[in-house]
Amino acid sequence: MGKVGILGATGYTGLELVKLLVNHPKMEIAYLGSNTHKGKRVSEVFPFLEPFEVGKLQFEDYENIPPDVELLFLALPHEVSMEIAPRLLEKGYKVVDLSGAYRFKNLEDFKTFYGFEHKYPDLLEEAVYGLPELFREEVKKARLVANPGCYPTATLLALYPLLREASDLILDDVIVVHALSGVSGAGRGLKQHFHFPEMANNMFPYKVVGHRHIPEMEFVANRVSPKGWKVRFTPTVVPIDRGMISTVYVRSKKFDIASLYREVYKDEFFVRVVDQPPKSKEVANTNFAFVYPAYDERTETAVVVCAIDNLLKGASGQALQNANLMLGYDEGEGLKHLVPSIV
Amino acid sequence: MGKVGILGATGYTGLELVKLLVNHPKMEIAYLGSNTHKGKRVSEVFPFLEPFEVGKLQFEDYENIPPDVELLFLALPHEVSMEIAPRLLEKGYKVVDLSGAYRFKNLEDFKTFYGFEHKYPDLLEEAVYGLPELFREEVKKARLVANPGCYPTATLLALYPLLREASDLILDDVIVVHALSGVSGAGRGLKQHFHFPEMANNMFPYKVVGHRHIPEMEFVANRVSPKGWKVRFTPTVVPIDRGMISTVYVRSKKFDIASLYREVYKDEFFVRVVDQPPKSKEVANTNFAFVYPAYDERTETAVVVCAIDNLLKGASGQALQNANLMLGYDEGEGLKHLVPSIV
Amino acid sequence: MGKVGILGATGYTGLELVKLLVNHPKMEIAYLGSNTHKGKRVSEVFPFLEPFEVGKLQFEDYENIPPDVELLFLALPHEVSMEIAPRLLEKGYKVVDLSGAYRFKNLEDFKTFYGFEHKYPDLLEEAVYGLPELFREEVKKARLVANPGCYPTATLLALYPLLREASDLILDDVIVVHALSGVSGAGRGLKQHFHFPEMANNMFPYKVVGHRHIPEMEFVANRVSPKGWKVRFTPTVVPIDRGMISTVYVRSKKFDIASLYREVYKDEFFVRVVDQPPKSKEVANTNFAFVYPAYDERTETAVVVCAIDNLLKGASGQALQNANLMLGYDEGEGLKHLVPSIV
Amino acid sequence: MGKVGILGATGYTGLELVKLLVNHPKMEIAYLGSNTHKGKRVSEVFPFLEPFEVGKLQFEDYENIPPDVELLFLALPHEVSMEIAPRLLEKGYKVVDLSGAYRFKNLEDFKTFYGFEHKYPDLLEEAVYGLPELFREEVKKARLVANPGCYPTATLLALYPLLREASDLILDDVIVVHALSGVSGAGRGLKQHFHFPEMANNMFPYKVVGHRHIPEMEFVANRVSPKGWKVRFTPTVVPIDRGMISTVYVRSKKFDIASLYREVYKDEFFVRVVDQPPKSKEVANTNFAFVYPAYDERTETAVVVCAIDNLLKGASGQALQNANLMLGYDEGEGLKHLVPSIV
- Chain D residues touching A19 at Cβ < 8 A: 339
**Is the minimum CB–CB distance between B324 and chain A shorter than 8 Å?**
no
What class, spelled out in words, does domain D2-147+315-326 have in CATH?
Answer: alpha beta
Q: Among B34-38, B161-165, B226-230, C319-323, whose mean pLDDT is lowest?
A: B34-38
Element (H, E) at C163: helix C150-166
pLDDT at B213 over 90: yes
Q: Which of B142, B150, B163, B237 is catalytic?
A: B150
The Cα of A338 is separated from the nearest Cα of chain D by a number of Å equal to 9
C196 vs A196: CB contact, 8 Å cut-off?
yes
pLDDT at B250 over 90: yes
pLDDT at B154 over 90: yes
pLDDT of residue C299: 98
In tens, the pLDDT along B114-134 reads 999 999 999 999 999 999 999
- Comparing alpha-carbon positions, the chain D residue that sits nearest to A274 is D47
Average pLDDT over residues B153-168: 98
C-beta of residue B263 within 8 angstroms of C-beta of residue B327: no
**Is the minimum CB–CB distance between B188 and chain D shorter than 8 Å?**
yes
CA distance B317 to B311: 7
Task: Choose from B10, B196, B201 for mutation: most chain D CBs within 10 A.
Answer: B196
CA distance B297 to D299: 68
Confidence of residue D53 (pLDDT cuts 50, 70, 90): confident
B301 vs A176: CB contact, 8 Å cut-off?
yes
Nearest to B160 by CA among B301, B313, B255, B265: B265
pLDDT of residue A228: 98
pLDDT of residue A64: 86
Q: Which of C4, C6, C84, C150 is catalytic?
A: C150
**Is the minimum CB–CB distance between B202 and chain A shorter than 8 Å?**
yes
CATH code assigned to B151-311? 3.30.360.10
pLDDT of residue A53: 85
3-class SS letters over chain D: CEEEEEECCCCHHHHHHHHHHCCCCCEEEEEEECCCCCCCEHHHHCHHHCCCHHHHCECECCCCCCCCCCEEEECCCHHHHHHHHHHHHHCCCEEEECCCCCCCCCHHHHHHHHCCCCCCHHHHHHCEECCHHHHHHHHHHCCEEECCCHHHHHHHHHHHHHHHHHHHHECCCEEEEEEEECHHHHCCCCCHHHEHHHHCCCCEECCCCCCCHHHHHHHHHHHHCCCCCEEEEEEEECCCCCCEEEEEEEEECCCCHHHHHHHHCCCCCCEEECCCCCCHHHCCCCCCEEEEEEEECCCCEEEEEEEECCCCCCCHHHHHHHHHHHCCCCCCCCCCCCCCCCC
Nearest to B337 by CA among B6, B12, B19: B19
pLDDT at A238 over 90: yes
Average pLDDT over residues D61-86: 95
How much is the ipTM here?
0.97
CA distance D343 to D336: 20
Q: How far is CA C25 from CA A263, B181, C2, C20, in A?
A: 68, 35, 10, 10
Q: Which CATH code, of 3.40.50.300, 3.40.50.720, 3.20.20.10, 3.40.47.10, is assigned to C2-147+313-326? A: 3.40.50.720
The Cα of D231 is separated from the nearest Cα of chain C by a number of Å equal to 7
**Is the minimum CB–CB distance between A171 and chain B shorter than 8 Å?**
no
Confidence of residue A135 (pLDDT cuts 50, 70, 90): very high
Tell me the residue type at D225: S
Task: Decide if B306 is catalytic.
Answer: no
Sheet holding C71-74, edge to edge: C59-60, C27-33, C2-7, C71-74, C94-97, C144-146, C128-129
pLDDT at B75 over 90: yes
Average pLDDT over residues A255-274: 98
- A-D Cβ pairs (cutoff 8 Å, strict): 69
pLDDT of residue A309: 98
**Is the minimum CB–CB distance between A274 and chain D shorter than 8 Å?**
yes
The Cα of B12 is separated from the nearest Cα of chain D by a number of Å equal to 10
pLDDT of residue C62: 86
CA distance A238 to A193: 12
- Chain B residues touching C49 at Cβ < 8 A: 339-340
**Is the minimum CB–CB distance between D28 and chain C shorter than 8 Å?**
no
pLDDT of residue C53: 85
Nearest Cβ partner for D343 among A274, A311, A341: A311
- Chain D residues touching A48 at Cβ < 8 A: 282-283, 288, 290, 340, 342
D197 vs B241: CB contact, 8 Å cut-off?
yes
Average pLDDT over residues D284-311: 98
**Is the minimum CB–CB distance between D239 and chain B shorter than 8 Å?**
yes
CA distance A322 to B35: 60
pLDDT of residue A259: 98
- Chain C residues touching B48 at Cβ < 8 A: 282-283, 288, 290, 340, 342
What is the DSSP pairing of strand D144-146 with strand D128-129?
Answer: parallel
A242 vs D343: CB contact, 8 Å cut-off?
yes
3-state secondary structure of C322: helix
Residues 6 or more apart in contact with residue C105 via CB below 8 angstroms: C124, C125, C219
Tell me the residue type at A269: F
| Residues facing residue D231 across a β-bridge | D175
The Cα of A271 is separated from the nearest Cα of chain D by a number of Å equal to 10
Nearest Cβ partner for B195 among D190, D201, D239: D190
Task: Choose from B24, B48, B273 for mutation: most chain C CBs within 10 A.
Answer: B48
Confidence of residue A206 (pLDDT cuts 50, 70, 90): very high
Nearest to C234 by CA among C158, C161, C296, C151: C151
pLDDT of residue A63: 83
Nearest Cβ partner for B201 among C200, C272, C282: C200
What's the maximum distance between 2 C-alpha atoms anywhere in chain A? 62
| Residues facing residue A272 across a β-bridge | A290
pLDDT of residue D2: 95
**Is the minimum CB–CB distance between B342 and chain D shorter than 8 Å?**
no
Confidence of residue B256 (pLDDT cuts 50, 70, 90): very high
Phi, psi of B250 (to 5 degrees): -130, 115
- Chain D residues touching C158 at Cβ < 8 A: none
D343 vs A184: CB contact, 8 Å cut-off?
yes
- Chain B residues touching A179 at Cβ < 8 A: none
The Cα of C96 is separated from the nearest Cα of chain D by a number of Å equal to 30
Q: How far is CA A255 from CA A170, A224, B233, D37, in A?
A: 10, 19, 20, 35
Query: Euclidean distance between the first and final Cα of chain B, in Å?
Result: 35
- Chain D residues touching C298 at Cβ < 8 A: 214, 230, 232
pLDDT at B63 over 90: no
* Chains contacting B (3+ CB pairs below 8 angstroms): A, C, D
CA distance B97 to B126: 13
Residue D122 burial (CB count, 10 A): 8
Domain ranges of chain A: 2-147+313-326, 151-310
**Is the minimum CB–CB distance between A190 and chain D shorter than 8 Å?**
no
| Residues facing residue B292 across a β-bridge | B305
Tell me the residue type at C193: H
- B-C Cβ pairs (cutoff 8 Å, strict): 69
- Chain B residues touching D310 at Cβ < 8 A: none
**Is the minimum CB–CB distance between A232 and chain B shorter than 8 Å?**
yes
HSE-CB at B340 with a 13 A cutoff on CA atoms is 28
**Is the minimum CB–CB distance between D192 and chain B shorter than 8 Å?**
yes
Confidence of residue B166 (pLDDT cuts 50, 70, 90): very high
CATH code assigned to A151-310? 3.30.360.10
pLDDT of residue C207: 98
List A residues 84-113 in contact with D (Cβ-Cβ < 8 A). Answer: none
CA distance A258 to A263: 9
**Is the minimum CB–CB distance between C305 and chain D shorter than 8 Å?**
yes
**Is the minimum CB–CB distance between C274 and chain B shorter than 8 Å?**
yes
Nearest to D196 by CA among A182, B43, B204, C15: B204
**Is the minimum CB–CB distance between D299 and chain A shorter than 8 Å?**
no
What is the DSSP pairing of strand C204-205 with strand C230-237?
Answer: antiparallel
Percent of chain D residues past pLDDT 90, beyond the cut: 96
* Chains contacting C (3+ CB pairs below 8 angstroms): A, B, D
C-beta of residue D239 within 8 angstroms of C-beta of residue B197: no
C48 vs B342: CB contact, 8 Å cut-off?
yes
Residue-by-residue DSSP string for C247-267? EEEEEB----HHHHHHHHTTT
Q: Which CATH code, of 3.30.360.10, 3.40.50.720, 3.40.50.10490, 1.10.150.20, is assigned to D151-308? A: 3.30.360.10
User: Where does residue B46 rank: exposed (0-12), middle (13-18), buried (19+ CB within 10 A)?
Assistant: buried
C-beta of residue B71 within 8 angstroms of C-beta of residue B4: yes
Confidence of residue D63 (pLDDT cuts 50, 70, 90): confident
CA distance D282 to D339: 9
pLDDT of residue D64: 86
Is this model's pTM higher than 0.90 or not?
Answer: yes
pLDDT at D101 over 90: yes
| Stronger pLDDT, C177 or A62, i.e. the higher one | C177
- CA-CA-CA-CA torsion sign (C125, C131, C132, C134): negative
Residue A102 burial (CB count, 10 A): 27
D188 vs B182: CB contact, 8 Å cut-off?
no
Domain B2-148+313-326 has CATH 3.40.50.720: yes
D242 vs B197: CB contact, 8 Å cut-off?
yes
Task: Choose from C206, C296, C309, C342 for mutation: most chain D CBs within 10 A.
Answer: C296
Ranges in chain C, pLDDT < 70 = none
Average pLDDT over residues D204-223: 98
pLDDT at D106 over 90: yes
Residue C317 burial (CB count, 10 A): 29
Element (H, E) at C165: helix C150-166
- Comparing alpha-carbon positions, the chain A residue that sits nearest to B195 is A343
| Stronger pLDDT, B57 or B286, i.e. the higher one | B286
